[in-house]
Structure 1
Amino acid sequence: MALRSPELRWLGSLTRPGRLAPSPLAALASPRRRRRAPSPSQSPSSPSPSDSSTPSTAPASAGAPGAEGFDGPEWKKVSAKRFGIKESMIPAEAWNVLHRLRSRGYDVYLVGGCVRDLIMKKTPKDFDIITTADLRQVKDTFSGSAVIVGRRFPICHVHENNSIIEVSSFYTSARGSSGSQIYNSKSQNCSKNDFVRWKNCQGRDFTINGLMFNPYSEKIYDYLGGIEDIKKAKVRTVIPAGTSFQEDCARILRAIRIAARLGFSFPKETAYYVRTLAYSVARLDKGRILMEMNYMLAYGSAEASLRLLWRFGLLEHLLPFQAAYFSSTRFKRKDKGTNMLLVLFSKLDNFLAPNRPCHNSLWISLLAFHESLARKPCDPLVVATFALAFYLGGDMSLAVDIGKSINRQHDTGFPELLEPKVWTDKHLAGEVQSFAALMKRALTEMTDEYHVANAMAKIPQAPSSDLVFIPLQAYLKVLKFIESVQYGKKERGYEPKRDGMINYHNLSNGTHAEITNLFTLVVFDTLYPTDMEDEDGCSS
């Protein structure tokens, strides 16, 4: 950053993306003993979708017109080797769950997004399992480390080390119908085992999430055309999009999240209903909205998520202050340009990944930080010194010393940043504290129903809403960060990071030092981008 002060060691300890933090992919690729276990005897109590069945013809109902108006796809059973999927790509925690269930005679499959990601050679966020055991049998298998959760779609959370493996049952998804009723309704040309797998896939949200993978036989089952949609880079609903989103409007947010993360697009019908039914997401439980928003903003695809939320009319329901910013700056729905809010979150994305997320207090801090700048543009030195004080836990004197030593050209493309001026130490510290007070006010208003409703009123043709989903605990956490700067008092016992490493476990848990460390890096990367640093070097 070309800082002159000897205090550069403080800022120099901030971690750069991808340089010092080791990638978890290295651990997954390390040598491991072969995990394939001998095939146990099958449970005689009930028929199961084992891999012994040969590929068969789809039932007559599968060929009826479905989602997007096309005929049902041809059923496929594909070797995982075709996609380069290896045993080492599945973490030990998932293998442990697979082995223990299989050793009791149950069939087990990896299912959903993890199969999609393995096919695409991406690191899955998590590994979900489906089994022929019912949930009570799953819980008994992992006595003391498993709990059944969920009302509408019950699943079993199995705790393995520091991970949670979600296990669902074929027979839970068939609730309300007896096994004989299911099997009697199949086509004569369809095997019983294929039908059970197909029936479960019919309840999935998107075709690319309707894939099953047996890691023992190394076979991938595709009953919905998911592999073809991966090739086409499409997020397509399993049933007609309008019906799917009305059944569960959370699927709208999941569609945005998946498209943003994978860089996929929507077929016309899906896009139409995402936009048309956007208003319905406000009916979701606030905890569910927070979970989906955290998946979008904390796992490495925040910029793309914000773009899609704005494009399809969802941002005004979920983040109305940020939607008002897009509207006031005349940022078009399909605009391919950028702005400071998007740049901030693109810089955050550089540090994160599906298996390396951050705590929600970090992206909430960035939203409040930018909202403050959008309301009252500031001198870039004030902004940089604020970020340093944020990192130093409120040590204003040291933050001012380091800030005034910065000799870099800031990005002049943001209207939120004013022309720089010369500051005395006292006046600079005062401006930083004033900015902290403004950020505190922005944070408070973002979490207040009255002010949210007023923000909605500023957006042309926006519906009336006072939705607030940011929880009190997260609000208080961010408030503590801000007040340490506002009052210029270093928090007792707090020490900023000095080791140059991002501890992603602590980052996801919201450790103070990790949050402030990464916040400051994101702000500095936005103010002083590396491409401008290269230009400065060439000109000198």
Structure 2
Amino acid sequence: MAISRRSYPFRSASSSLAYTLVSDRQRWNHSSTGENGDTGSVLPPEEGSYDQSSWKTVDSRAVGIRRSSISSSTWTVLNILQRKGFDAYLVGGCVRDLLLKKTPKDFDVITNATLKQIKKQFRHCIIVGRRFPICQVHVQGSIVEVCATFSNLFFDPTCYTIYDYVGGISDLRILKLRTVIPAHLSFDKDCARILRGLRIVARLGLQFSKETAAAIRDLSSSILTLNESRLRMELNFMLAYGAAESSIRLLHKFKLLDILLPIQAAYLADQSRKQVAQGSTMLMKLFSNADKLLAADHPADSILWLALLAFHLALVENPQDALVVWTFSAILHDGTWKKAAEYARKNVKAHAQFVPEIRSSSDTKSDELILEETSHLASLVKSSVNAFTSIDALQQSLGRYQGPLSSGVVLVSERMGSNVSKLLRSWKAI
């Protein structure tokens, strides 16, 4: 089951959360809908930093890219522009994803047409952006972004030709991600590239070049200069698009989780000190299950990952009987108390046990007591949301761990927290 971004958020998040618990651009100023600014296996270069004489061309058929992999709405945009005499190509992250045989989250088009010329060709076209010339073309129920400036790796699917000016295809063959200009200089000029690089590596299973990894370690704290809405957007890209587990691992490895999700960073560090492997922690298992539901082109609403974090935090701070935890989870899945209780009693011993979150089950508890404790767990989850929206609640939760407290960044908006509370209130029998 995959959740579309256009799905009703409370219903889709509730279904996804239930399954998860029961189951074992560079153009930020004008757009927040995609992974724009990603170029192949390299981070974006500075304008004018490439030499056209060194460009390489690759036949897309030789690398296994099929025309059917490109959405019909994108073909419509390409064909209309080219019939009118303009150059038009696919560009950026979608080209990289096609080369890796991944499904692109969306498709971007680059053209030599002006903004006014683009707008003239399409009935539903909006010019957006302050720094970059972009049109959002609404066609066949989708949005295709069209850029009127040539600045990336690009692909002309009509003649099966990929133009590679930075050696991106060679990097993809060895699954490496690097910056075009020296990494320290690149990240110093735009620290948001650090987060973009992390989500590309997490989603596609790449590795950083040594220079790029070193620059991330040296400059990781610079992301604090980004505004909270930008950090929140990047965090959502990492956790809601099918690569949450690998994203959390990378953020923790490069000490960025301490900034974005300090409670979870402290939890993983504590588990590590207790010699509990990251792969066996409940936090990682929750997001591993969530990733099975999602994909780059089928993300979940952001309230899903916030609900998972709140659920986990509630159990860390208030460990519960296994029977109560699985009853709570089953209620989300089945929607009725009776079915949930039956499921929990039959299957509780088959589920994995986690320390410190889940205590051994007690077979002697009555249904009435289980229902009471399950309802109490729901209340604890609601309260745990505060640790992601309030600095005071965040510091209080961090107080249980040794070491320095958080830098004080709270990335979850009160509206997001309110939506999770509404989701919890919508669950039957709780």
Q: Same fold (TM over 0.5)?
A: yes
* Aligned counterparts of 2:246 and 2:173: Cα–Cα separation in 1: 20
Distance 2:256 2:91 in 1: 29
Paired position in structure 1 for 2:9:
none
Larger mean CA deviation between 449-458 and 335-344 belongs to 449-458
Query: C-alpha displacement at 1:247, in angstroms?
Result: 1.9
Cα 1:101–1:147 change in 2 (3 A) is same
Match for 1:251 among 190, 193, 207?
193
Distance 2:183 2:368 in 1: 59
**Partners of 1:118 and 1:288 in 2: CA distance:** 27
Task: Kindly report which structure 2 residues correspond to 1:261-410, keeping only aligned pairs within 5 A, or say none.
Answer: 261-330=203-272, 337-391=279-333, 395-406=336-347, 408-410=349-351
Taking a change above 3 Å as real, the CA distance of residues 444 and 344 of structure 1, as seen in their structure-2 partners, is same
Pair 1:324–1:96, CA change in 2 (3 A): same
Task: Give the gaps of 5 or more residues in structure 1.
Answer: 1-10, 17-59, 64-71, 171-196, 202-210, 490-540
SS in 2 for 1:356: coil
Correspondence for 1:156: 135
Which residue of the other structure, out of 412, 420, 434, is the alignment partner of 2:361? Answer: 420
Match of 2:35 in 1: none
Q: Distance in 1 between matches of 2:368 and 2:19?
A: 30
Q: Distance in 2 between matches of 1:125 and 1:95?
A: 16
Measure the CA separation in 2 of the matches of 1:332 and 1:223: 48
Q: Tell me the distance in 2 between the aligned counterparts of 1:61 and 1:484.
A: 54
Tell me which residue corresponds to 1:124: 104
1:377–1:415: 8 Å Cα contact kept in structure 2? yes
Name the CA distance, whole Å, in 2 between partners of 1:284 and 1:306: 19
The 3 A distance-change label for structure 1 pair 425 and 459 is closer
User: Does the 8 Å CA contact 1:74/1:225 hold for their aligned counterparts?
Assistant: no
Counterpart CA distance in 1 for 2:142 and 2:401 is 42
Amino acid at match of 2:135: C
Mapping of residues 461-500 of structure 1, within 5 Å: 464-484=406-426, 488=429
CA distance in structure 2 between the partners assigned to 1:76 and 1:153 by the alignment: 26
Deviation at 1:152, TM superposition (A): 2.9
Q: Which runs of 4+ in 1 moved over 6 A?
A: 332-336, 457-461
Q: In 2 relative to 1, CA 73–334 (structure 1 residues): closer, same or farther, beyond 3 Å?
A: farther
C-alpha contact (below 8 Å) 2:166/2:180 kept by paired residues: yes
The 5 A counterparts of 1:83-162 are 83-143=63-123, 145-162=124-141
Describe how 1:22-61 pairs up with structure 2 within 5 A. none
TM-score (norm 2): 0.82
Q: Does the CA-based 8 Å contact 2:326-2:348 persist in structure 1? A: no
Structure 1 residue 464, shift from structure 2 partner: 4.7
Alignment CA distance shift 1:364-1:154 (3 Å): farther
In structure 2, C-alpha distance between the alignment counterparts of 1:261 and 1:286, rounded to whole Å? 23
Counterpart-to-counterpart distance in 1, 2:419 and 2:240: 16
Aligned equivalents of 2:419, 2:261: Cα separation in 1: 19
The equivalent of 1:220 in structure 2 is: 162
The 2-side partners of 1:288 and 1:228 are apart by 31
Deviation per CA, 1:315-346: give whole Å up to 9, x if none.
11111121121122236999764311011111
Name the count of aligned residue pairs. 386
SS at 1:129 equivalent: strand
Whether contact under 8 Å (1:452, 1:465) holds in the other structure is no
**How far did 1:114 drift?**
0.8
User: Contact conserved, 1:312 with 1:333, CA < 8 A, in 2?
Assistant: no
Aligned partners of 1:273 and 1:463: how far apart in 2?
Answer: 25
The range that moved more, 221-230 or 275-284, is 275-284
- Compared with structure 1, are the counterparts of its residues 473 and 403 closer, same or farther at alpha carbon in structure 2 (3 Å cutoff)? same
1:441 counterpart letter in structure 2 = S
Structure 1 SS opposite 2:178? coil
Which digits, 9 at most, give the CA deviation of each residue in 1:124-171, with x for residues without a partner? 11111110012232223224x22222223342211123321111112x
Aligned to 2:109, the other structure's residue is in SS state strand
- Higher percent of residues as strand: 2
* Structure 1 range deviating more: 145-154 or 300-309: 145-154
- Alpha-carbon distance in 2 for matches of 1:414, 1:363: 21
CA spacing shift, 1:335–1:382, aligned 2, 3 Å: closer
Structure 2 counterpart SS, 1:153 = coil
The structure with the largest alpha-carbon Rg is 1
Aligned partners of 2:277, 2:217: CA distance in 1, in Å?
A: 16
Residue type at the aligned position of 1:280: S
Whole-angstrom CA distance in 2 between matches of 1:338 and 1:121:
30
Distance 1:425 1:454, change over 3 A: closer
Using a 3 Å threshold, how does the CA distance of structure 1 residues 226 and 474 change in structure 2: closer, same or farther?
same
> Cα–Cα, structure 1 residues 102 and 447, in superposed 2: closer, same or farther, change >3 Å?
same
Structure 1 residue matching 2:86: 3-state secondary structure: coil
Shift of 1:372: 1.0
Instruction: Show CA shifts across 1:416-466 (max 9, x none).
Output: 211110211111111111111211111122211222345567776657522
Moved more, 320-329 or 215-224: 320-329
Give matches, 1:148-227, under 5 Å: 148-170=127-149, 200-201=151-152, 211-227=153-169
1:436 to 378, 387, 405: 378
CA distance in 2, matches of 1:408, 1:458: 30
Identity %: 42
**Contact kept? 2:268, 2:278, Cα under 8 Å:** no
Q: 1:400: Cα distance to partner?
A: 3.1
Going from structure 1 to structure 2, the CA distance change for 1:333 and 1:115 (only over 3 Å counts) comes to farther
- Name the SS for the 1:299 alignment partner: coil
Residue aligned with 2:385, SS: helix
CA offsets 1:170-213 (integer angstroms, 9 cap, x no match): 2xxxxxxxxxxxxxxxxxxxxxxxxxx6xx23xxxxxxxxx210
Question: Any idea what the Cα deviations from partners look like across 1:236-276, whole Å, max 9, x if unmatched?
Answer: 11211112112222111111100001111111221112122
**Which protein has greater RCO, CA pairs closer than 8 Å, 6+ apart?**
2
In the TM superposition, what is the alpha-carbon distance from 1:411 to its structure 2 partner? 1.2
Equivalent residue in structure 2 for 1:411, among 320, 344, 352: 352
Q: Report deviation, 1:401.
A: 4.3
Q: What runs of 5+ residues in structure 2 fail to find an aligned partner?
A: 1-14, 21-47
Give the distance between the partners of 1:332 and 1:414, measured in 2 at CA. Answer: 10
Conserved? CA contact 2:395–2:405, under 8 Å: no
